[in-house]
Each structure stands twice: as C-alpha cells, then as structure tokens.
Amino acid sequence: MNIRNIGIFAHVDAGKTSITENMLFLGGVTNSLGSVDNGTTQTDFLEVEKNRGISVRSSLTSLVWKDVKVNLVDTPGHVDFSADVERVLRVIDAAVLVISAIDGVQSQTESIWNALKEREIPVLLFVNKIDRAGVHLEALLEDLSSELCDQHIPLQTVDAEGSAEASIQKVAIKDQEQNIEKLAGHDDVILEQYLEGVEIPEQQLHSCFREQVKLAKVFPLLFGSAKLSLGVQALLDAIVEYLPGPVVHGDHQLSALVYSVYHDPKMGKMAYARIFEGSLKVKEGLRNLSRQVEEKVQALRAGPANNYANMDSVQAGDIVGISGLTQAHTGDILGQTCPQMPEAVSLNASLLTVQVKAKEEKQYAELAEALQTLAVEDPSLDFEWYREDKEMHVKVMGWIQIEVLQQILEHRFGVAATFEDPTVIYKETPVTSGFGIGHYTMPKPCWAIVRFLIEPGPRGSGVQYQSLVRTSDVHQKYQNEVERTIPKALTQGIKGWEVTDIKITLVEGEDHQMHSRPGNFVLATPMGIMLALEATNTKLLEPILWFKITASDELLGKITSEIIQMRGSFESPIIVNNKLTLLGTLPVATSLDFPVRLSSLSGGKAKMISRFYAYADCPDELGKIRPFKGISPLDRSKYILKMRKALEA
C-alpha cells in the first residue's frame, strides 16, 4: 500500500488537532467528531491535554484515503514543546502547516516554517478558521508572501469569508496567471512557453506543479474551517495527490529511528519509530544500536495509545508503535543507520533549569522514578539527580512546560510536586591558562597520576582535548579512560556550571604495572581538571537569543528602549508600509518576560520569534554562581571515599 507520512504543525490554537479529528472521521477511523474543548479528541488523549485543551506531545494516528495509508503525526503548537516537534521532523516525508485565518502568521508558525524550509520538506499550507468574523484573506495572503514564502499556489477561491456561510471552490492552475508565473520560475519548458504566449495545457501545468511540490519549490494552498468541517476532504485529496511518499531503497537490513517513547498504563512501554529500511515482525528480535542491546518485538501497533490497531508486520517507509523494547529511549537507532535517516534539527534549546521537589518527603523516591521515566520519553529534560544533596533538576523551555510537568506528575504518576523558580543555564570557561595534577596512589592497590594543561578556547568551540603523553608512561587503555571521563568532569566547574570553550591537554602522566586499574584514572581525572580550573579561575557565560520583532513603526522607540534596558542589541530597523522589522540579540536572563511585555505594549499586535544564538561573556555580578552539587573533586578525601563507594549518600 502507498504511504504518506505527514506531520501536522501550527502555532498553538490554530486548529490542527480539530483538523486531524475531521480527517479521522472522513477516513472512517472514528464514528463521530472529537472536540478539543470537551477533551474527546483521538490525538490529545493525555489527561493534561484534555484539561488544558492543547497538545503537549506528538501523537500518531493513521487512516486510509483513496487506497493510500496516511500516517498523521499531530504535534504540539506551543513553543515550550519544540523538542517534540524537532523529533517529528526527522520521521516525516511532508507536512501540513496550519495557519489561523484570524491570527495570521504567528511566531511559532514562522519558526516551524523555517525548520521545514531548512530541511526541504514539502509543505501544504492550510488556512483554517475562514468562517471567523474579521477574517481578511487578501491581507493574510500578503503576510504569507512577505513573512513565509511567495511561492504558494492557491488551489481554491473563497466566498463569504468571515462568516458561517463561507464556502470554497476549486480553481484550475491555468486560470490564475500568477500561478503560471511561479511554476515558470522553476521549469524552463513552461517558462519558454509562457514567454512566447503559448497556451499551456492544464495537464502539463498540473504535472509540473506536482513535481515542484515534491521538490519543496512551490506549496499548495488550501482553505477551510475545521469547526464547520469545511475543506478537510479537499485537504485529504491534496495530501494523497501532491505530497510525496517515502523513498525505499531495495531489500536492506532494519534501520529505524525511535522518535517518541510513551509508558502506557495498560500496554506498557511503547516506542514509536519510523522504519527507513528493512522490516519488522511480531516476536522478531532486533538490535538497539544506541543502547547496544538485543530485544524482541512483542507487538506492533498503529494509531495512538488510546485507540490502536495491532499489526503482524511493518515494512520500510511506515511508522509504527513497538511494544517490548524495554531499553528504548527517544532518539535511539534500531538495527543500523542509513543515509535516508535525517540528522537532528534544533528549533529551540532548553535554556532554563528548575529544581523539582516532592510535596511529601515520603514521595521522594517516587518523584525520582517518575522524572527518570519522563526523561526517557523526552531527553531534552536532561534529568539530573544529585543524591548527596537530595536535589532533582530538569531543563525546561518555559512556564507552560513547568505547569504541564506538574500536572503530569500528579495525574499520571500520583506524585504531588513543586517547582522552584527556574534559573537560566549559565556556563563557565577558563580565564587564563594553568595546570592541575590529579593523583590517586593511596590506599593501594591503585596508581594514577595525570597532569593537565587547561587553556581558554574560542567562543563556541566547545571542548578540545589532546594527549601528549607516551603510552610507555600511561598505557593507552588508561588514556582512553581519561578521555572518556573528561565530559563528566566538566559538567560542573568551580562556579557550579558546565565548563565549555576549553582546551585540555594531558601533558604528563604515570601508571603502575602492578597497581593501576582503569578506574584509578576515572577517579584521578576530575581531581586534576578541577585543580586546573581553580588555578585558571573561570568566568561565566550566559545564553543569548537571536530575535526578530515585527510591529507597527510607531512602537520603534518603546521597543528599542526596552531592548537597551535588557542589555540587548539590534540592527538598523527595516520599515515598510508603516510596519517595523527589528533584528537583534538579547540575554535570556533579562528577557524571560519580554514576549508578554511586548504583547501588552502593542495590544497583542506585535510578533516576536527567537532562537538560541550563542553563549557570551557575562560579568559574575550579572549572572549566577551556584554551589557545587554533590561532592566536589576539590574535597579530595570525601571525593575518593564517594568514588570508592565507601561514603553513604
């Protein structure tokens, strides 16, 4: 069967989940339309989604339309859940980008569009809510051209927009000259015919259009209203007709990517994966390449966790839920890698860390277990558990994500938790060059001596490591342990933050033929690194955002004044037709509530999109220095006892 793997994307509240419900109803998957407001949709099945009326994680569902299997991946629309959107981008072949006719091109709409464009993913644009009062489609199409792309080709016209009587009519490509011009820009044959004034057959235009859509050069544009079930059938027709299916290369071994993991109370752990090559069968074994473990497929399931269908096997090109992979994490590769598997994409980075506490001390262990489970499902949480301090921390995007996590912990795991105020994630880097010696020679049998030279690295260079030590002084297997331990040794520096933009050179070392063990060098390395950092001192680095603000030009003075107060910078403003576009950078620490202030300042009419830009120098007094979590390698005696497991946590 032909397949379409389609991601549905939008800014929050644009109506994509309601559109999905309509498609499932038309495809015969459901007998009635679910409602976001009533919490009865197929894809928003989590308790927190029903309560809040928004999607907080992606959900897979499937239907058959005109003998084509359509896998629909409904995605979260709120920026706080961008990490899930990033993962979905790796497993789809095409996308439907939903735009609210009343709200226009919103901030997350533009961010998602940029990510789709960067990956050259074919996109079908669907303008929803054309029945809403106040809709002006002509102005909306102008915004689409100026803010997203002017290569969209409308396949319909709309009558009575902005009312419950709104209707749509199909239109031929040849009946709109601007559409022919757009196609001519990508096809030399059509360009020549157009310039010579030759009438181009609709079939030829249609064939060219389909090809250019697959190449992500032009983009079909459709209209409708999920509320009125208007235009959704035409959307399904267009998905099947214009958007490409998966490309499968011969009979290869299994290659699959786990893009989502969910622990269902009834089904257990489910790993949702795109099969790029090969096939899978129930009761068949497979190798998790990322975890280096062999596991057996217990069941294969299509559809969301609350309404699935069992499958006996799955072929390359399909997306499926797999039961039985107890060790699987989100992002794991099953079988082997393949050229068709896309690299990871980044929309936004988690730049805040927050401490989580159980309201009742007796639920401390339950909270830790719940957070570990959630971190398997969403690696961007980067759960850290400092057992010596009895502290648990996760990384988040913003307050909405914190509120959702709190509700998930309570409703799904039965753990009442509180979240401290989030802290910006700083980093630190050496101020100058210096040396540090780590030695572990007592009590025997043990022997490991390492001497490091630490130097500052260029901004954005990360960690650079080299060894100048001969294997006659330190055996290669021990040097391998040193190199493997360095990332762990840099997770906290002398100011409590991850150390980066650093050059580390192992300049001297010594092992012992009788007493040395690999673990000795694992223990000695962090001590040497921390002593070197203490000698060089470190300075803080703070995260910086790139931003783009669009607003009325009359707000220029107020907006730039706010940016200056936040220690931000901006380029020369661009003003066209009384509309201001401003590009620049802002520290995360000073701009956490700026989107809210900007909305208030502009009466909700200004728009801001932002993304992580870089880490930059930050004076200590403007940043945050925090104590070392756990036992520092600088506390030599306790640290050795801890590493030897002779110290109670």
Please determine, for residue 38, whether its predicted confidence score (pLDDT) is greater than 60.
Answer: no
Q: Which tokens sit at 580?
A: 């201001």
CATH of the domain at 358: 3.30.70.870
The answer to the question of residue 250 being in a domain is no
User: In whole angstroms, what is the distance from residue 367 CA to residue 411 CA?
Assistant: 13
Of the ranges 264-268, 425-429, 508-512, 546-550, which one carries the lowest mean pLDDT score?
Answer: 264-268
Greatest CA span in the chain, whole angstroms? 91
What average pLDDT does range 301-316 have in this prediction?
A: 80
Enter the tokens of residue 560: 């730039």
The per-residue pLDDT for range 213-233, each reduced to its tens digit, is 999 999 999 999 999 999 999
Please tell me what DSSP assigns to residue 104. B
pLDDT of residue 177: 86
For residue range 58-89, list pLDDT tens digits in order: 889 999 999 999 999 999 888 888 899 999 99
Could you tell me how far CA 6 lies from the centroid of its own chain?
A: 17
Tell me the per-residue pLDDT of 379-421, one tens digit each, with 9 for 90 and over. 999 999 998 889 999 999 998 899 999 999 999 999 999 999 9
Give Cα separations from 119 to 273, 282, 370, 524 (angstroms): 19, 33, 34, 44
* 133, 260: one domain: no
Domain end, chosen from 191, 221, 242, is at 242
Of 47-61, 233-247, 400-414, the one with minimum mean pLDDT is 47-61
- Same domain? For 528 and 406 the reply is no
Share of the chain above pLDDT 90, in %: 78
The average confidence (pLDDT) of the chain is: 92
Residue 165's pLDDT is what? 93
Give me the pLDDT at residue 45, please.
54
| Confidence bin at 541 (pLDDT 50/70/90) | very high
Residue 180 has pLDDT above 50, yes or no: yes
Does residue 122 sit in the same domain as residue 212?
yes
CA distances from 67 to 30, 208, 241, 478, 550 (A): 18, 24, 12, 60, 44
What pLDDT is recorded for position 649?
46
Cα–Cα distance for residue pair 123/281, rounded to 1 Å: 32
Number of domains in the chain: 5
Q: Is residue 341 part of a domain?
A: no
- Please indicate, yes or no, whether residues 40 and 68 belong to a single structural domain of this protein: yes
Residues 408, 440 within the same domain: no
- Residue type at 624? K
Percent of the chain with pLDDT over 70: 95
Same domain, 84 and 153: yes
Residue 342 lies in a domain: no
Whether residue 578 is found in the same domain as residue 498: no
The residue with greater pLDDT, 251 or 219, is: 219
Do 391 and 487 sit in the same domain of this protein?
A: no
**Cα–Cα distances in angstroms (integers) from residue 310 to residues 162, 282, 302, 384, 560, in the given order:** 43, 10, 6, 37, 57
Q: Which residue, 425, 449, 475, sits at the end of a domain? A: 425
Instruction: Classify residue 343: in a domain, yes or no.
Output: no
Q: Where are the beta strands (DSSP E) in 372-447?
A: 384-386, 391-396, 417-419, 423-424, 427-430, 434-440
Q: What is the pLDDT of residue 173?
A: 86
Residue 345 lies in a domain: no
Inside any domain, residue 215:
yes
Residue 347 scores a pLDDT above 80: no
Residue 408 and residue 374 in contact, taking contact as beta carbons nearer than 8 Å: yes
Q: How far is residue 463's CA from residue 500's CA, in Å, rounded to a whole number?
A: 6
Structural domain boundaries, residue 377: 352-425
Query: Are residues 19 and 58 located together in one domain of the fold?
Result: yes
In a domain, 624, yes or no: no
Going by pLDDT thresholds of 50, 70 and 90, the confidence category of residue 251 is confident
What are the two backbone dihedrals, phi and then psi, of residue 142, each rounded to the nearest 5 degrees?
Answer: -65, -40
CA distance 70 to 609: 31
226 and 368 housed in the same domain: no
102-158 pLDDT tens trace: 999 988 899 999 999 999 999 999 999 999 999 999 999 998 998 899 999 999 999
What is the CATH classification number for the domain harbouring 310? Answer: 2.40.30.10
What is the per-residue pLDDT for 194? Answer: 85
What CATH number corresponds to the domain at position 509?
3.30.230.10
Closest CA to 19 of 43, 53, 45: 43
Q: For residue 549, what are the β-bridge partners? A: 582, 608
Residue 574 scores a pLDDT above 90:
yes
- Closest listed residue to residue 149, CA positions, set 187, 186, 102: 186
Residue 360 predicted with pLDDT over 50: yes
Structure token digits, residue 387: 């057992």
Contact between 123 and 149 under an 8 Å Cβ cutoff? The reply is no
Which residue in this structure is represented by tokens 């999109």? Answer: 609
Domain membership flag for residue 59: yes
Cis link prior to 76 (omega < 30° from 0)? no
DSSP for residue 147: I
Q: Which residues pair with 167 in a beta bridge?
A: 159
How far is residue 85's CA from residue 333's CA, in Å, rounded to a whole number?
18
Write out the two tokens for 27: 């495809």
Partners of 547 in the beta sheet? 584, 610
CA atoms within 13 A on the CB side of 125: 29
For residues 320 and 268, state if they share a domain.
yes
> pLDDT band at 305, cuts 50/70/90?
low
Residues 494 and 550 in one domain: no
Tell me how far apart the alpha carbons of residues 64 and 4 are, in angstroms, rounded to a whole number.
10
Say if residue 37's pLDDT is above 70: no
Strand partners, 614: 544
What's the rounded Cα separation, in Å, for the pair 25 and 33? 6
Among the residues of 42-118, which ranges form H helices?
47-52, 82-88, 107-118
